[in-house]
């Protein structure tokens, strides 16, 4: 079973290292690339006010958060939910940095201790669409994901949109992947293509008729004449 968690956070500002905190966590669960409906959505009391710029992005007021639980109170529930999953995050360094800081403040280990792997969809998008805008909104437009309800950033809504974006970005890959538990490297991102045995496949050979061969040779002569006798097949034959 392949279990993935698409994750997003909203924060009081841009720097966990200078004291900004998580105010909202939104997680969407995928099992074998299908939405399960087992989501996790929590608002937190960050014990500080949001910066004005952050308020304009997420619109979550300081007053609204005052009676919400502190991160430390729900850390165990969050760890249990994330345990063993592969995380899918847009601009993963930002969210992982904030989660690591929150875990540190309540005496817990970094996020990657609890999860299988982290996929950064921003890095994926930059590879797939070099030189283009790769914000979540831009990817929704490019991949035809309906984001008309996204007037402000919200962690759960953004996680739901990112789940659709990720599935569209990787559509078709599941047919190419094979598991190889004995030689699996958790840090590798190599796509392996399943080998297909053609040894028992018998193809019918249909030879060209005399008329088809003559018509083919006539076309080759015309091409050679147009090139002034410089066609590759003529040069090869002369050698």
| 3-state secondary structure (DSSP) of residue 30 | strand
Active-site residue, from 41, 90, 153, 216: 153
Contact 165, 140 (CB under 8 A): yes
Residue 90: both structure tokens together: 């847009």
Strands (E), 16-68: 22-31, 34-35, 40-43
Spatial contact of 89 and 7, defined as CB atoms under 8 Å apart: yes
153 is catalytic: yes
Q: What does the alpha-carbon distance between residue 115 and residue 145 come to, in Å, rounded to a whole number?
A: 27
Q: Residue 84: which of 109, 118, 114 has the closest Cα?
A: 114
Catalytic residues: 153
């Amino acid at each position: 079973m392949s279990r993935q968690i698409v994750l997003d956070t909203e924060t009081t500002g841009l720097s966990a290292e200078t004291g900004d905190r998580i105010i909202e966590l939104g997680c969407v669960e995928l099992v074998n690339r299908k939405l399960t409906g087992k989501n996790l959505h929590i608002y937190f009391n960050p014990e500080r006010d949001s910066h004005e710029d952050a308020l304009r992005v997420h619109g979550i007021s300081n007053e609204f958060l005052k009676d919400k639980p502190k991160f430390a109170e729900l850390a165990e529930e969050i760890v249990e939910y994330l345990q063993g999953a592969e995380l899918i995050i847009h601009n993963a360094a930002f969210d992982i940095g904030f989660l690591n800081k929150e875990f540190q403040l309540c005496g817990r280990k970094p996020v990657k201790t609890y999860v299988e792997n982290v996929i950064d969809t921003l890095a994926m998008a930059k590879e797939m669409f070099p030189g283009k805008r790769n914000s979540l909104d831009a990817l929704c437009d490019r991949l035809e994901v309906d984001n008309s309800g996204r007037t402000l950033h919200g962690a759960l809504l953004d996680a739901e949109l990112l789940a659709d974006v990720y599935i569209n970005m990787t559509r078709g890959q599941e047919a190419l992947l094979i598991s190889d538990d004995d030689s699996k490297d958790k840090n590798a991102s190599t796509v392996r293509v399943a080998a297909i045995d053609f040894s028992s496949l018998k193809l019918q050979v249909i030879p060209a008729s005399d008329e088809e061969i003559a018509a083919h040779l006539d076309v080759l002569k015309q091409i050679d004449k147009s090139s002034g006798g410089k066609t590759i097949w003529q040069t090869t034959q002369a050698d």
